[in-house]
Amino acid sequence: MGLYNKYILPTLIDFACKQNPAMRQREKVIPLATGKVLEIGIGSGLNLPLYNIENVKHLTAIDPSKKLWHKNIIDTKNLPFEFEFIEAFAENIPADNSSFDTVVITYTLCSISDTNKALEEIRRVLKQNGKLIFCEHGKAPDRGIQKWQDMINPLWKQVGGGCNLNRNIPLIIEANGFKMNTMETMYIPGWKPVSFNYWGTAHPS
């Protein structure tokens, strides 16, 4: 899987993440970011044009895949806010305690190996009055779809770079020291086992 993960997978992930239904979901949450922002799993930078330039002062973005980041087509030197990219994993964020006003995570919790550790790190670097903004796909509410998700997930995870179809996103967030401010759910257009979305904001509890 080495050549696949290195050369083919980043292209597949970028293609899937830039589809219109997912982009419309991003548009619902990214403008909510304010102040000093950390984006977890920036990928190829699809969220960059969606930030509210009047509200964001500085954006730090991390991702473990430089291959995926290099697919970015935006000139980050011309962004209307300060920007830095760091190659790093969510389980070990290179930042001081209480560094950020907002943490953004979109379509990334599905593939993080240790979500408990990642959210512990997010809570550590987020200010006490800060907010977590999320948009993720995950466990569907319908039992028939859940069965498909559970059945397909082992193979999907192998070919999808660790992506899980059946994670209970709100349960994971709330079990790791956060309380929901707002959350909405729906099936977005697409194949149902991968199209049930959760999005909203949460704060450290």
Q: Residue 141: pLDDT above 60?
A: yes
Predicted structure pTM score: 0.96
Mean predicted lDDT score pLDDT of the chain: 95
Percent of the chain predicted with pLDDT > 90? 90
Structure tokens at 109: 């919790």
The per-residue pLDDT for 1 is 54
Strands 82-87 and 56-63, bridge-based pairing: parallel
